[in-house]
């Protein structure tokens, strides 16, 4: 298998830049990361390119991240989808998990996001019990020397070298 293709969608340019660099560092050379700054830009990109993972913020101008990811889920059942938000609620989390979408609230440690991607790729159950059987292999972060150093810590965000996003 070639590189894991990840699409990051957020109108916060600083966040997508930091997240892109962090994912490369955490997951090694076996990933390719593209960035978009709106749902409409991302939908255009999805029409011409294949992605294994799409990570989107909830609050963006125009189409919300949830609407955007719901459309993708409808058209691409096999894709790993993750919603990130600073405005999490129990109702939103339940709705997101019901669609088979990963969910993480800001601020979060990069290792948490990597673990969510790994869990969804292996078809592990999400917290509400929905299953996501996806036949995608993702590099093991334990095999990466930089991230392997972090796995011995209780919390990844306790390491000053790993940013909270």
C-alpha distances (whole Å) from 62 to each of 47, 66, 68, 89, 147 are 19, 12, 10, 21, 36
Ordered by start, the domain boundaries in the chain are 4-158
Over residues 8-45, the pLDDT tens digits come to 999 999 999 999 999 989 888 788 999 999 999 999 99
Does 3.20.20.120 match the CATH number of domain 4-158?
no
User: Global pTM?
Assistant: 0.74
């Amino acid at each position: 298998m070639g590189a894991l293709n990840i699409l990051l969608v957020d109108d916060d340019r600083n966040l997508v830049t930091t997240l892109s660099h962090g994912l490369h560092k955490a997951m090694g050379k076996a990933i390719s990361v593209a960035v978009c700054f709106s749902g409409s830009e991302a939908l255009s990109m999805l029409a011409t390119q294949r992605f294994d993972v799409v990570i989107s913020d909830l609050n963006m101008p125009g189409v919300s991240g949830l609407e955007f990811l719901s459309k993708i889920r409808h058209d691409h059942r096999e894709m790993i989808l993750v919603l990130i938000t600073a405005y999490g609620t129990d109702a939103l989390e339940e709705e997101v998990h019901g669609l088979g979408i990963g969910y993480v609230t800001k601020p979060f440690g990069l290792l948490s996001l990597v673990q969510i991607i790994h869990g969804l790729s292996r078809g592990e159950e999400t917290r509400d019990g929905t299953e996501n059987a996806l036949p995608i292999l993702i590099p093991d972060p334990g095999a990466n020397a930089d991230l392997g150093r972090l796995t011995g810590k209780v919390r990844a965000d306790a390491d000053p070298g790993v940013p909270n996003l």
